[in-house]
């Protein structure tokens, strides 16, 4: 009898705890940004004090683990109110198609979208007739912005009397002088394919332009086209001039950051987050940034990689309206200033970019409009992988530009035939 009473008591406690949770208005946000955890919690507390709704940020890191968690939760119908699928446009499109992401166009059209950098907002925006047949609209809210440029060590540059290179030839000359002084010119986390892609794209856009890139993705321009070979030949040139740091092709970005922070390389292709990283690794390091080199006689303007930490709203959330309101509050000027100051990231709200304290970050922010355009089509990941591994091979002298072009075209044709088979 006693046992029976105990069981009933436990069931009642369980039911009570469940019901009390349901009646509470709590917005749950899943994110992967460990460096922003503290400030997010502060802002959540600030918001909860002024509103009826409480906000809870839950961090899941590293980003791989976060991605898997989101995918599993999507399958189980357990997504939180606000989250991000963390992926490219293709992956985002899959989430939207499956009904896991809310269309925010209606909210954004109330003037909200004017707060953001145009180039940044485009990354979660789908235009009419897009590759995925999605309804045109804005699907995400940018929280802050990151961009990739080339950091350089001011002390080394001053010591060797070097000026910041603007063109590719100047860049090569600077590298030559650095090598002559036994300093490794350039480092980056080229063990991570996406960083090779970012560097390569800054040349690709100059040589092929937006239209050329789209045509290549559609298969109308072959990778064996002389323009593509010209892109790969730039890497041959850089390899021959010994610009790359020792072991660059298996370095993850953390290793590359260490090489630059310990002054073992004079230049580093890295993101704006590097400001935080370098100040932690070597507070005395003096550096600034410059844009990737411009190719002489390039037909098209120089473009750089710009991205943003987006948050998306779960359309099945019980507190969808409140979730949107919170995101609007988070991107208001006051909160964006706090976020930028605490995290040293570029705010997504363009109206507060003048509030950025760091000169280097200001330099990053001033070039956001030069971002790679958001294309209506995305290259298949296998083709990108083949390209990046091919560039690695060029760097270590295993392949020539022409060999890579042929191999890449072969992979592209394979992917095209797979897509054709799939659609049949």
Partner 1 sequence: MKKDYHISNALFVLPAVLMFAIFTIYPFVKTFQLSVYEWDGISPNMKFVGFKNYIDIILADKIFWKSMTNAGVITLLALTFQNLLALILAVIIDRGIKFEKFFRTVYFIPPILSGVVVGLVWKWIYDGNYGILNTILSYIGLEKCATSWLSNPKTALLSVAIVHMWKGFGWGFIILLSGLQTIPRELYEASSIDGADSFKQFYYVTVPLMIPIFFIVSILTILGTMQIFDLIYSMTRGGPAGATEVPISYIYRYMSNNELGYATAMAVIFGIVLFLLSILQIKISRKLKKV
Q: How far is the CB of 207 from partner 1 (least distance, A)?
A: 23
Q: How far is the CB of 298 from partner 1 (least distance, A)?
A: 28
Among 35, 91, 210, 332, interactor with partner 1 by CB under 8 A: 91
417 near partner 1, judged by CB under 8 A: no
95 near partner 1, judged by CB under 8 A: yes
400 near partner 1, judged by CB under 8 A: no
Residue pair 139/121 in contact by the 8 Å Cβ criterion: no
Residue pair 333/351 in contact by the 8 Å Cβ criterion: yes
Q: How far is the CB of 409 from partner 1 (least distance, A)?
A: 16
Q: How far is the CB of 191 from partner 1 (least distance, A)?
A: 6
Residues of this chain, 286-325, that bind partner 1 according to CB under 8 A: none
Among 213, 249, 313, 323, interactor with partner 1 by CB under 8 A: 249
Residues of this chain, 180-199, that bind partner 1 according to CB under 8 A: 184, 191-192
Pairing of the two strands 26-31 and 54-59: parallel
CA 119 to chain centre: 13
179 near partner 1, judged by CB under 8 A: no
Among 104, 178, 248, 339, interactor with partner 1 by CB under 8 A: 248
**With CB under 8 A as the contact rule, which of the stretches 11-19, 214-222, 251-259, 355-363 interacts with partner 1?**
251-259
Nearer to partner 1, 160 or 378 (CB): 378
**With CB under 8 A as the contact rule, which of the stretches 225-233, 250-258, 289-297, 362-370 interacts with partner 1?**
250-258
381 near partner 1, judged by CB under 8 A: yes
410 near partner 1, judged by CB under 8 A: no
Spatial CA neighbour of 299 closest among 365, 231, 366: 231
Neighbours of 110 (CB within 10 A): 9
Rg for the chain (alpha carbons), in Å?
24
Among 38, 106, 114, 246, interactor with partner 1 by CB under 8 A: 246
135 near partner 1, judged by CB under 8 A: no
175 near partner 1, judged by CB under 8 A: no
Between 49 and 88, how does the x/- string for binding to partner 1 read (CB under 8 A)? ---------------x--x---x--xx---------x-x-
Spatial CA neighbour of 310 closest among 88, 143, 102: 143
392 near partner 1, judged by CB under 8 A: yes
Residue pair 121/355 in contact by the 8 Å Cβ criterion: no
Among 250, 321, 334, 366, interactor with partner 1 by CB under 8 A: 250
Pairing of the two strands 137-138 and 306-313: unpaired
Q: How far is the CB of 237 from partner 1 (least distance, A)?
A: 19
Q: How far is the CB of 279 from partner 1 (least distance, A)?
A: 21
**With CB under 8 A as the contact rule, which of the stretches 241-249, 272-280, 292-300, 369-377 interacts with partner 1?**
241-249
6 near partner 1, judged by CB under 8 A: no
Nearer to partner 1, 108 or 195 (CB): 195
**Residue 199: is the preceding peptide bond cis (ω within 30°)?**
no
Residue pair 293/165 in contact by the 8 Å Cβ criterion: yes
3-state secondary structure 33-72: CHHHHHHHHHHHHHHHHHCCCEEEEEECCCHHHHHHHHHH
Q: How far is the CB of 259 from partner 1 (least distance, A)?
A: 6
282 near partner 1, judged by CB under 8 A: no
359 near partner 1, judged by CB under 8 A: no
Q: Is 170 left (phi over 0), alpha (psi -120 to 50) or beta?
A: alpha
Among 264, 320, 328, 341, interactor with partner 1 by CB under 8 A: 264
Binding interface with partner 1 (CB under 8 A) = 64, 67, 71, 74-75, 85, 87, 91, 94-95, 97-98, 100, 184, 191-192, 245-252, 255, 259, 262, 264, 381-382, 385, 389-390, 392-393, 396, 398-399, 414, 422
């Amino acid at each position: 009898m006693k046992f029976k009473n105990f069981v009933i008591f436990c069931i009642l406690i369980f039911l009570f705890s469940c019901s009390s949770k349901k009646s509470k208005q709590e917005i749950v946000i899943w994110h992967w940004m460990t460096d922003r955890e503290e400030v997010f919690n502060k802002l959540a507390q600030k918001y909860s004090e002024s509103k009826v709704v409480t906000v809870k940020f839950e961090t899941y890191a590293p980003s791989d683990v976060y991605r898997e968690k989101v995918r599993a939760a999507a399958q189980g119908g357990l997504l939180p109110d606000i989250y991000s699928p963390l992926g490219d446009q293709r992956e985002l499109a899959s989430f939207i198609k499956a009904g896991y992401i809310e269309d925010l166009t209606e909210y954004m059209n109330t003037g909200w979208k004017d707060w953001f950098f145009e180039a940044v907002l485009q990354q979660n925006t789908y235009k009419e007739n897009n590759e995925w047949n999605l309804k045109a609209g804005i699907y995400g809210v940018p929280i802050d912005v990151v961009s990739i440029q080339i950091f350089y060590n001011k002390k080394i540059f001053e010591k060797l009397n070097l000026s910041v290179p603007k063109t590719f030839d100047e860049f090569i000359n600077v590298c030559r002088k650095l090598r002559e002084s036994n300093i490794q010119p350039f480092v980056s986390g080229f063990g991570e394919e996406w960083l090779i892609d970012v560097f390569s794209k800054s040349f690709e856009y100059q040589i092929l332009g937006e239209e050329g890139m789209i045509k290549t993705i559609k298969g109308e321009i072959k990778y064996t086209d002389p323009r593509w070979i010209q892109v790969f030949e730039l890497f041959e040139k850089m390899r021959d001039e010994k610009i790359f740091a020792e072991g660059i092709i298996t370095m993850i970005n953390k290793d590359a950051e260490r090489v630059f922070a310990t002054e073992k390389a004079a230049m580093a292709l890295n993101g704006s987050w590097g400001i935080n990283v370098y100040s932690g690794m070597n507070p005395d390091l003096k550096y600034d940034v410059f844009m990737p080199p411009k190719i002489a006689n390039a037909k098209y303007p120089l473009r750089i990689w710009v991205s943003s930490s987006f948050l998306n709203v779960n359309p099945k959330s019980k507190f969808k309206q409140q979730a949107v309101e919170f995101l609007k509050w988070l991107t208001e000027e006051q909160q964006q200033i706090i976020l930028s100051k605490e995290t040293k990231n570029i705010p997504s709200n363009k109206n507060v970019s003048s509030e950025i304290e760091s000169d280097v970050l200001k330099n990053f922010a001033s070039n956001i409009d030069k971002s790679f355009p958001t294309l209506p089509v995305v290259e298949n990941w296998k083709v990108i992988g083949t390209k990046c591994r091919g560039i690695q091979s060029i760097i270590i002298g295993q392949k020539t530009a022409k060999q890579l072009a042929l191999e890449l075209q072969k992979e592209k044709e394979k992917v095209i035939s797979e897509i054709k088979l799939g659609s049949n």
